[in-house]
Chain A
Amino acid sequence: MDTTATFWLPVPASTVAQDIDALWSFVFWISTFFFLLILGMMIVFAIRYRRRAGDVERLDKGPSHNNPLEAAWIIIPTLIVLVIFVWGFRGYMKMTVVPANSMEVKVTGQKWFWSFAYPEGASSVNDLVVPVDTPVKLLMSSQDVIHSFYVPAFRVKRDVLPNRYQVAWFEANQVGEFDLFCTEYCGTSHSDMIGKVRVLSKADYASWLEESTIGAEGMDPVELGRKLYTAKACMTCHSVDGNPGNGPTFKGVFGHQVEFADGSSLMADENYIRESILSPRAKIVAGFQPIMPTYQGLLKDAEIDALVAYIKSLGAESE
């Protein structure tokens, strides 16, 4: 079994990849053959029949049509593409029919990050963690516009829609880290809506689950907040260095007066930060679009506390 990237294709790290890559090779070599055939004929004719002096004074003696030949180049390509069609369709069916014993992960796409909810109650952002050699069913939906879930190494792609569940599945057969991309254009940070799929051995996966469900209890809240800032994708919109991005910077927010789009203003305290995270549309900071997604259900209480503590620490630093 081939498990490394080739010149054309990324590492085949899922069970369906083999079949798809085989079809790729088949089509590739057939195409190369026909391309070289056309090119070869073109070059040979161009040299052999290039115009020479006096040529234009004679009548065209070449054939003007040949029905058997026409039939041949209609029938042969048709047969070939029929093979490709059937092969491609069967591969597609394998990719769409979810095995019954799959583990189910709920995937949510929103501008501009992915969140994953696991059967055991754990959750993660932009970082899909799965056990190796286990079929994983993805039940996907979007909170806003259309996104598309794509893992090149698994040869898996499915649009993620706002109005219905979309289903995809894969079974990773290699331990490792693989790129996860959004492939349906979704606005400003479309190209930042990327993450990783971490395929762990079954034992590692079990201990990961344990860690993440217990939470990082006992960890310093500011430290945990700093981690969540990246892990929960706050960083795609908020900086901590004072530069505004899609959203205001966290630097120096806490304890300062915030102006809102409706003209009112307020001193940023713990409750305001908490409200901003859970119902971001309640108050819109002046000069920004109301694009922040709600984190209701995505963060546990302890995590919200940690984020508040972290933002608070950034406010103090700037004093």
Chain B
Amino acid sequence: MSNAATHTEPLRSNLAVPDQIDEKTGLPRENYIQDGGKGLKSWLLTMDHKRIAILYLITVVAAFFVGGIMALLIRLELFLPDEQFFNADQYNQLFTLHGAIMIFLFIIPSIPAILGNFVLPLQIGAKDVAFPKLNLASWYVYMLGAGITLISIFTSAADTGWTFYTPYSSSTSTSVIPMTMGVFVLGFSSIFTGLNFIVTVHKLRAPGLTWFKMPLMVWGLYATAIIQVLATPVLGITVLLLTLERAFGIGIFDPAMGGDPVLYQHFFWFYSHPAVYIMILPGMGIMSDLIATFSHRKIFGYKFVAFSSLAIALVSFLVWGHHMFTSGQSEIAVMIFSFLTFMVGIPSAIKVFNWTTTLYKGSISFAVPMLYALGFLFLFTIGGLTGIVIGALSLDIHLHDTYFIVAHFHYVMVGGTVMALIGGLYYWWPKIWGRMYSRTLGVFAFLLVFVGFNMTFFTQFILGARGMPRRYFTYVEQFQPLHAFSSSGAMVMGLGFLLVAINLWWAIKHGKPAGSNPWGALTLEWTECTSPPIPHNFKETPKIEYGAYEYDRVIPTMEKQG
């Protein structure tokens, strides 16, 4: 490619020309929503990755709101120190369900299964994922797992915390088995998605799309998929052992029979620490796409950002012991775990610096998705830096199992992943549905979410540092003002999320037609696909003439429909 400043010259045949636009709807006549078949059956039996993404969208967002309502009930209860609306057992069930639903039903599948499913094939110029049937199967397995988990909720919801620590989990009278079996089944759904993505990225990239021309979203999903495939089986085995322990008293975690309850914690975190990165890596992928697109800049240090994802994926397997610094591991073990924990922080820091530098000399637009990207940068930086605080051994002894930890992981999981998810939804929504949402409402809802989030969780850093333990139904008087402030923030944040949902929902039917490339992005889903895309994505396999973010070589055409 010698000639520099060209506008994107997409294969024109791949985009809807004016006479292919339906005058009534303003959308392309041919698209996956109308042409994939009509009726519920056509959706439930679809093999189209885009429709499967929609199935996931509906169920995963439902899980988010169920888990979110539980969070609000928890915060309501904690407004005052003593018993208010629930009794202790109900409260314990609430925080268990909140955690389990948010982790296993919402955040782990969220970005890969919704946005990954939708955009991964589009971004690499493929017609679908490598195994479309496996893809649909993963959704059914997800539904089955969710169904089994529901049995627990409706019998006598588990009260173990989402971590299911033994021997409490093997002795409580609540129904733990449906919960662990649900988690076991959900694991397969996650493995199916991961497997599919790995093969898709290796085998289905359009000719000419070399690894370093791929969008960083694809790198993020790829690194995530590796962890999903390698770590999830360990979770499966762990919850299976726990189930056997409860059902048949095999005794592997039971001290009375010579077993070791701490062994359970090692098994559990061997999965669940890498799982933290299953949750955040795809969000980091979205971040890179958003930052580049909305500053019209080549991502600064592309290779560093890409390889840091892989570095995180590998090192994340070696730090699980940092969840157990108070459990009495040997000095050598805690030393190694602490050291590696600091090392796994470095790649994340690399990303943050590179994203920030990408803004330099850019042409920065404050579209709604970009607000979430900047919000992510703000919140994730706090989440990461507080990770350094608790990586330090002597400080973690004081802060472990307090609200400081609660705040830290909410800054990473909500401030990171959920911000990225919402940013990603806002970003690709016009591609998914062909229509645009209200910017005004979008900005307003963002402010509510951002302010509400910081009110809720920054306060919890203070609570934790002052010694407020987590998973407490009642608490000592001195923490009341901070708890009340945190609870108020949660209500503001809850309202924000609700408005986000309303805005997006409204856009599906009533939004203005968005055009094929409203943001002037350079990745294939924008330059080579209509909004919404046709059932097989591309009329012809796209020719790859430039990398995902080569704004230094190509000026994108802001393509509005019609």
- A residues near B (Cβ < 8 Å) are 5, 7-10, 16, 19-20, 23-24, 27-28, 31, 34-35, 38-39, 41-42, 45-46, 49-52, 55-66, 69-70, 73-74, 77-78, 81-82, 84-85, 87-96, 144-146, 148, 150, 152-153, 155-159, 161-164, 166, 179, 181-192, 194, 289
Cβ-defined contact, B395 with A77, below 8 A: no
- B residues near A (Cβ < 8 Å) are 4-5, 88-89, 92, 159-161, 165, 167-168, 171-173, 255, 260-262, 295-304, 325-328, 331, 334-335, 338-339, 342-343, 345-346, 349-350, 352-354, 356-357, 359-366, 374, 377-378, 381-382, 385-386, 388-389, 391-398, 400-402, 462, 465-467, 469-476, 520, 551-556, 558
Among A9, A42, A155, A179, the residue within 8 A (CB) of B397 is A155
Q: What is the minimal beta-carbon distance from B132 to any residue of chain A, in angstroms? A: 37
Docked Cα-Cα span, A81 to B345, in Å, equals: 9
Q: Which of A46, A158, A166, A191 has the most CB of B within 10 A?
A: A191
Q: Which of A8, A162, A163, A185 has the most CB of B within 10 A?
A: A185
The contact sample of 11 A-B pairs, CB cut-off 8 A, is A24-B465, A38-B377, A42-B378, A49-B362, A56-B555, A62-B298, A62-B361, A65-B300, A70-B350, A145-B165, A184-B165
Docked Cα-Cα span, A71 to B260, in Å, equals: 45
Among B261, B298, B475, the residue within 8 A (CB) of A146 is B261
Cβ-defined contact, B472 with A84, below 8 A: no
The residue in chain A whose Cβ has the minimal distance to the Cβ of B174 is A187
Among A50, A73, A148, A192, the residue within 8 A (CB) of B326 is A148
Docked Cα-Cα span, A41 to B474, in Å, equals: 42
With A20-B398, A152-B467, A185-B165 already in contact, the answer to whether A85 and B342 are too (CB < 8 A) is yes
Cβ-defined contact, B466 with A152, below 8 A: yes
Docked Cα-Cα span, A92 to B392, in Å, equals: 9
Docked Cα-Cα span, A50 to B354, in Å, equals: 18
Cβ-defined contact, A81 with B356, below 8 A: no
Q: What is the minimal beta-carbon distance from B389 to any residue of chain A, in angstroms? A: 5
Among A27, A65, A78, A186, the residue within 8 A (CB) of B389 is A27
Docked Cα-Cα span, A37 to B495, in Å, equals: 31
Docked Cα-Cα span, A191 to B326, in Å, equals: 19
The residue in chain B whose Cβ has the minimal distance to the Cβ of A166 is B328
**Which residues on the A side are within 8 Å of B397 (C-beta)?**
20, 92, 95, 155-157
Cβ-defined contact, A59 with B342, below 8 A: no
Among A59, A84, A145, the residue within 8 A (CB) of B168 is A145
Cβ-defined contact, B401 with A184, below 8 A: yes
**Which residues on the B side are within 8 Å of A91 (C-beta)?**
392-395
Using A70-B354, A191-B469 as known contacts, list a sample of 5 further A-B pairs with CB atoms less than 8 Å apart, ordered by residue number in A.
A27-B392, A34-B385, A61-B552, A92-B334, A162-B255
Docked Cα-Cα span, A79 to B353, in Å, equals: 16
Cβ-defined contact, A64 with B552, below 8 A: yes
With A51-B364, A185-B161 already in contact, the answer to whether A161 and B92 are too (CB < 8 A) is no
The residue in chain A whose Cβ has the minimal distance to the Cβ of B167 is A145
Cβ-defined contact, A56 with B300, below 8 A: no
With A85-B339, A155-B397 already in contact, the answer to whether A49 and B345 are too (CB < 8 A) is no
Cβ-defined contact, B466 with A148, below 8 A: no
Q: What is the minimal beta-carbon distance from B145 to any residue of chain A, in angstroms? A: 24
The residue in chain B whose Cβ has the minimal distance to the Cβ of A34 is B385
Docked Cα-Cα span, A77 to B363, in Å, equals: 29
Docked Cα-Cα span, A88 to B393, in Å, equals: 5
Cβ-defined contact, A20 with B394, below 8 A: yes
Cβ-defined contact, A49 with B364, below 8 A: yes
**Which residues on the B side are within 8 Å of A51 (C-beta)?**
296, 363-365
**Which residues on the A side are within 8 Å of B343 (C-beta)?**
78, 81
Cβ-defined contact, B88 with A191, below 8 A: yes
Cβ-defined contact, B92 with A59, below 8 A: no
Among B89, B364, B382, B394, the residue within 8 A (CB) of A35 is B382
**Which residues on the A side are within 8 Å of B353 (C-beta)?**
38, 73
The residue in chain A whose Cβ has the minimal distance to the Cβ of B259 is A163
Q: What 6 A-B pairs are tightest by C-beta distance, nearest first?
A: A152-B467, A91-B394, A88-B392, A163-B255, A62-B361, A92-B393
Cβ-defined contact, A159 with B326, below 8 A: yes
With A24-B395, A289-B173 already in contact, the answer to whether A62 and B555 are too (CB < 8 A) is no
Docked Cα-Cα span, A18 to B280, in Å, equals: 35
